[in-house]
Amino acid sequence: MSKGDILIVDDEPGIVRLIAMYLEREGFGTTTARTGAEALEMVRRTSPALVILDIMLPDIDGWEVCREIRRSNDIPIIMLTARDEDEDKIVGLEMGADDYVTKPFVPRELVARVKVILRRARPAPADQTSTALHLGVLTIDPARREVHLEGEPIHLRAKEFDLLLELARKPGIVFEREKLLQDVWGYDFFGDSGTIDVHVRRLRAKLNDDSSNPRFIETIWGRGYRFKDPPKSA
């Protein structure tokens, strides 16, 4: 039984065949696209479990494809590129990618990354006895995995929610980036601590939280982040 279809987007047939072979050995189904436009159409038509997306495509570049997918879809995305530049990794994460693999790559490592991302893309089982956290104008409900700001629902991706909940459960406690990676992403996560910074920026944008005068998530320079204690009057 297939574990889910993986969409492979690359205009190099040899790369596509190699990735597909290793994924199919592990029980995944695969579909392919050679252009950005074809990839976007495949996402709309087939809703793959994950997208492996090359940056250099003959029509639309991978950055734009990633951006377009993220406008309406939370499908996990792994970016492929021939450049091993930290800036490219940050750009990809900012646009909504979940991971970043540099060519040439080891196929078994790519498959391992696919498994890890699919595992962490599934919301962790919620403790149904957990009570909602009421933190001033912000309410976080672990059982329903819902967040409301001033009564209005806020849409968060799975790991954005998990990160916010981890911070909010211990207001005033400073979490180092490595600790957050360990607790929220797990020991087997392949990324680096810059992932935390990207997700915090996304959270702040969605929560209308000003980094220079935060209501919720405060940067502790040289250490990490903490959730501010809610006002006593709240």
Domain boundary among 121, 150, 165: 121
CB contact at 8 A, 140 and 216: no
Cross-strand bridge partners of residue 58: none
Residue 85 is encoded by which pair of tokens?
Answer: 């530049």
List of E strands, 155-222 = 175-176, 217-220
Same domain, 102 and 161: no
**First vs last C-alpha separation in the chain:** 52
Do 117 and 147 belong to one domain? no
CA distance 87 to 201: 16
Q: In this structure, is the dihedral angle defined by the CA atoms of residues 85, 91, 92 and 97, taken in order, positive or negative?
A: positive
Give yes or no: residues 17 and 43 share one domain: yes
Q: Is the pTM for the entire model greater than 0.75?
A: no
Task: Answer yes or no: do 105 and 213 share one domain.
Answer: no
Q: Are residues 115 and 138 in the same domain?
A: no
pLDDT at 20: 96
User: What order of strands is seen across the sheet that includes strand 217-220?
Assistant: 175-176, 224-227, 217-220
Count of helices and strands (H, E) across the chain: 8, 12
Predicted local distance difference test score (pLDDT) of residue 30: 96
Q: Tell me how many domains the chain contains.
A: 2
Classify residue 128: in a domain, yes or no. no
Of all helices (H) and strands (E), which one includes residue 37?
helix 36-46
Q: Do residues 100 and 79 lie in contact, with contact meaning Cβ atoms separated by under 8 Å?
A: yes
Co-location of 105 and 139 in the same domain: no
Look at residue 140 and tell me if it is in a domain. Answer: yes
> Which pLDDT tens digits describe the chain residue by residue (234 residues)?
456 799 999 999 999 999 999 999 999 999 999 999 999 999 999 999 999 999 999 999 898 999 899 888 889 999 998 776 666 667 777 777 888 888 889 999 999 989 988 877 665 555 544 689 999 899 999 988 899 999 999 998 888 898 999 999 999 999 998 888 888 876 555 556 678 888 899 899 999 998 888 999 999 998 899 999 876 544
Instruction: Judge whether 141 lies within some domain.
Output: yes
Asked whether residue 163 is assigned to any structural domain, the reply reads: yes
Residue 71: how many other CB atoms lie within 10 Å: 7
Residue carrying structure tokens 């459960």 = 169
Instruction: Assess whether 51 and 156 both reside in one domain.
Output: no
Q: Is residue 83 part of a domain?
A: yes
Do 49 and 117 lie in one domain? The reply is: yes
Q: Which of 98, 121, 144 is the last residue of a domain?
A: 121
The answer to whether the beta carbons of residues 228 and 215 sit under 8 Å apart is yes
The confidence score (pLDDT) of residue 205 equals: 92
Please give the residue range of the domain that contains residue 101. Answer: 5-121
The CATH number of the domain holding residue 151 is: 1.10.10.10
Residues 116, 218 share a domain:
no
Is position 193 within any domain? Answer: yes
User: What is the CATH number for 44?
Assistant: 3.40.50.2300
Quick one: 216 and 175 in the same domain? yes
Question: Residues 84, 146: one domain?
Answer: no
Give the domain-ending residue among 101, 121, 141.
Answer: 121
Residue 119: both structure tokens together? 């595992």
CB 199 within 8 Å of CB 159 = yes
In a domain, 14, yes or no: yes
Closest CA to 110 of 179, 37, 28: 28
Distance in angstroms (rounded) separating the CA atoms of residues 221 and 122: 31
Task: Let me know whether 61 and 26 are in one domain.
Answer: yes
